[in-house]
Amino acid sequence: MPVVETKDLLDRKFDVCFTHGDINGNGFLEAADALALAARIATYLGESMGSPKTLKLFQAFENFWNHVTIKMDTDNDGKISPREWRKGLRKALAEDPNGYKEGSRPVAEAIFTICDRDNDGTLEQSEFAKFHEAFGCTSANSQLAFQHLDTDGDGTLTVEELLNAWHEYYTSDDPNARGNWLFGDAWDETVAIGKATR
C-alpha cells in the first residue's frame, strides 16, 4: 500500500510503520502480519526460531498485537485499517501517555535483545543495520538513523537511547526530535517500502 500523501509528520511516521508492518501488502494490519514481521526480524538477525531471543520477540509481538486490536479495531473486523491505526495511536497517547510509553517498552526491549548479536548490552551500527534490513530500509537510511539516534556519539546505542527514540518516533511532532530518524529520513520515498530484500 502506498503511503498516503500527508503534510503531518506524526501521521507520516505512523504510515511508514503501517507499511512496514503490512507484510502481506493487503492494506490492513492483522495478526498474521505481526507474526510474519517477528519471524522476519529473527531471520535477518540470524536467530533460530526456537531460541530464547526469538521466543521473547514473538511473545512481545503477540502481546502488543492483542493490546492493539482491543484498542484500535473499532469496527471489530479483526484487522486494523490505516485510519484505525492513525486514530488509535493518537487516542492512546492522549488518554494515557505513560501507559503508551510502557506499552511499547517490551517490544523495543525484545528487538534490542535480538539485535545485540554479541550480547554486550549495546547495539553497534552493524547490528542495528540488520534490524533495518528486515524492514527493507536502504543502508543510507540505516546509517542516517544510527547517526541521529546515537545521542552521545560513542558508536553504540544503549537500550535507553533506543527506547527514547522509539517513543519520540510515535509521539513527537517536533521536526527536530531525534526519534524521527528511527528508520532514516521519514520523508524519503524509499523509507516505507517495507519489502524484504531476501
Q: Site residues (CB under 5 A) for Ca ion? A: 22, 24, 26, 28, 33, 73, 75, 77, 84, 116, 118, 120
Cα distances (Å, whole numbers) of residue 78 to 38, 103, 155: 19, 20, 42
Residues 3-22: b if buried by 16+ CB within 10 A, e if exposed: beeeeebbbbbbbbbbbbbb
Shortest Å, Cβ 7 to Ca ion: 25
Closer by beta carbon to Ca ion, 71 or else 101: 71
Shortest Å, Cβ 50 to Ca ion: 22
Say which residue the cell 522509539 belongs to.
166
Amino acid (1-letter code) at residue 20: H
Closer by beta carbon to Ca ion, 8 or else 118: 118
CB neighbour list of residue 198: distance below 8 Å, 6 or more residues apart: none
DSSP H stretches of helix in the chain: 9-21, 31-44, 52-72, 82-95, 97-115, 125-134, 139-149, 159-171
Closer by beta carbon to Ca ion, 88 or else 177: 88
Shortest Å, Cβ 39 to Ca ion: 14
Helix (H, G, I), strand (E, B) or coil at 164: helix
Return the closest-CA partner of residue 91 out of 64, 66, 73.
73
Q: Which DSSP symbol is given to 28? A: S
Closer by beta carbon to Ca ion, 23 or else 60: 23
Shortest Å, Cβ 172 to Ca ion: 26
Shortest Å, Cβ 118 to Ca ion: 5
Closer by beta carbon to Ca ion, 32 or else 55: 32
Say how far residue 163 (Cα) sits from the centre of its chain.
11
